[in-house]
Amino acid sequence: MSASADSRIRSLPQLLHALNEVALAHEFGEIFERVELSLADVQEYVRFKPDTYNRQSIRKTANYELLVLSWQPGQQSSIHCHSGSRGWMLNIQGCVVEYLYQLCQQGDEISLQDERKSQCYQATWSYIDDKRGAHRIAVEGSTPAVTLHLYAPPIESCNYFVQNGLQVTKKVHVYETV
Ligand SMILES: [Fe+2]
């Protein structure tokens, strides 16, 4: 269901104000579902790197982190989990797809199953947590992409998974706040 006209969040200051008013964890989702930001609203956080996507933190508190990710065509994330954090992503620009995997671990053996691809359409949001699975985000087409991410709580580090044939290796990625 789309937000009613007067409940939409149409500027970054309005979003940051709403996030700081959050008293209950479920309210993060209720706020993010109302966000309608354009590229101009986050332009100062858009930075492209030649070799990998770029993360630019807008604000980080004990309860949440809001970031802008900038992606050149063909760039993608690793397959990763969210370390117990809940995550929302708004596609502001570009052709963004999500690949979702069910993670199975038996002893030291890890497998990734049921790869499912879904399109993240421009101006729409998606949600991820570890119960839904691990995922990777990729940019298709020839247009650079810009996405807005809200993590509650912030993700300091997460597991990511490298596939080599049937073998899957788990590694740890520690995020730097920029
Ligand atoms: Fe993610």
Pick the more confident residue, 174 or 94.
Answer: 94
pLDDT above 50 (res 1): no
Ligand 1 centroid–CA 102 distance in Å is: 14
Q: What is the pLDDT of residue 178?
A: 38
Tell me if 99 is assigned to some domain.
yes
Cα separation, 101 vs 96, whole angstroms? 17
Q: Which of 22-26, 74-78, 162-166 has the lowest mean pLDDT?
A: 162-166
Domain count, the chain: 1
Tell me if 110 is assigned to some domain.
yes
Tell me if 97 is assigned to some domain.
yes
Tell me if 26 is assigned to some domain.
no
pTM, two decimals, is: 0.92
Ligand 1 centroid–CA 122 distance in Å is: 17
What is the token pair recorded at 28?
A: 């993060």
* CATH classification at residue 164: 2.60.120.10
Q: What is the pLDDT of residues 60-119, one digit of tens each?
A: 999 999 999 999 999 999 999 999 999 999 999 999 999 999 988 888 889 998 889 999
Q: What is the pLDDT of residue 176?
A: 64
Tell me if 11 is assigned to some domain.
no
pLDDT above 60 (res 132): yes
How far is CA 139 from its chain centroid? 13
Tell me if 29 is assigned to some domain.
no
Cα separation, 35 vs 9, whole angstroms? 5
Ligand 1 centroid–CA 147 distance in Å is: 11
pLDDT above 50 (res 150): yes
Tell me if 55 is assigned to some domain.
yes
Tell me if 34 is assigned to some domain.
no
Ligand 1 centroid–CA 154 distance in Å is: 12
pLDDT above 60 (res 2): no
Ligand 1 centroid–CA 53 distance in Å is: 13
Range of the domain at 149: 44-177
Instruction: State phi, psi for 86 to the nearest 5 degrees.
Output: -100, 140
